[in-house]
Structure 1
């Protein structure tokens, strides 16, 4: 195997670790602007862990202004790649008006169901109207076939 191929394989294998490290450090220390930018760049390249991490940075943290709508968009990108934590937080954001994003209870249910957060999904199910339950089941089928990572 050529050195280049070997390097690419190693880079692909370890890239989630690099993304997680940059994002984790940037989240816990708001003064690390360079780490935040590195996290954002990795997120823009499509790394689901970095997308989730950057979403957390935007949602809140030390000495930062919360940007829930921007965070929501990064969580969506990550969740659509099968990131379990992003799917779980989307369920919470879509079912709780305190986050400042438009409520969408059927979609919240679908994200929780796909992320296997059964307790939250079941509790939310009891709050849904029959029409919302029907929509929630439709979305669950779509999300399970499209965004579930094994």
Structure 2
């Protein structure tokens, strides 16, 4: 009998906790930012990566709180360190633009690569841009081509235009290298093919 009461108590607490977690996300979706802030702050401080990411968004955009890029960066950083793909993308943007932190192209590249290797489409497009412009890496048309082709595979707007543009700028050797990089990625997992490329 005591075991049954204990089990019921645990189940009741678990359901209540799950409902509280959902309230924060539902409130955010309904633009009830005061309620969202209350529940998401609680979960974020308990280490929930999704709540941390969403708090970062709230502070970054000023949703129910004053815009605070430093606070947004802090929440993105905590969430990204737990492997949250969207937080790594947001962290990459913060490093790329110097939002809430000093610009750091190398750390931006690292964050975007983390997300890109987990199929975050826009991260792939941005990585292509970074290799094209030499942000945090040496300019590399073949690697820009690779990332833009991988972005195109996920139907990202702008990827095809970038590919057409860079093909006009590439030498035959650069194109062959870029195409070879892309072909090898199609034969392997994305992670295995990219870890063989310099600067990855």
2:43 alignment counterpart:
42
C-alpha displacement of 1:93: 1.3
C-alpha displacement of 1:24: 5.1
TM-score by length of 1: 0.68
Gaps (5+ residues) in structure 1?
Answer: 135-140, 142-150
C-alpha displacement of 1:87: 0.6
Would the alpha carbon gap of residues 24 and 4 (structure 1) be closer, same or farther in structure 2, given more than 3 Å must change? same
1:106 alignment counterpart:
106
**Helix, strand or coil at the partner of 1:126:** helix
C-alpha displacement of 1:39: 0.9
**Helix, strand or coil at the partner of 2:126:** helix
**Helix, strand or coil at the partner of 2:90:** helix
Gaps (5+ residues) in structure 2?
Answer: 117-122, 139-190, 192-200
Would the alpha carbon gap of residues 110 and 78 (structure 1) be closer, same or farther in structure 2, given more than 3 Å must change? same
C-alpha displacement of 1:50: 0.5
1:25 alignment counterpart:
27
Aligned partners of 2:24 and 2:35 also within 8 Å: no
Looking at structure 2, the residues matched to 22 and 66 of structure 1 have their Cα atoms a distance apart, in angstroms, of: 19
1:121 alignment counterpart:
127
2:55 alignment counterpart:
54
User: Aligned Cα RMSD in Å?
Assistant: 3.3
2:91 alignment counterpart:
90
TM-score by length of 2: 0.53
2:11 alignment counterpart:
7
C-alpha displacement of 1:43: 0.2
Looking at structure 1, the residues matched to 107 and 129 of structure 2 have their Cα atoms a distance apart, in angstroms, of: 14
Aligned partners of 1:20 and 1:49 also within 8 Å: no
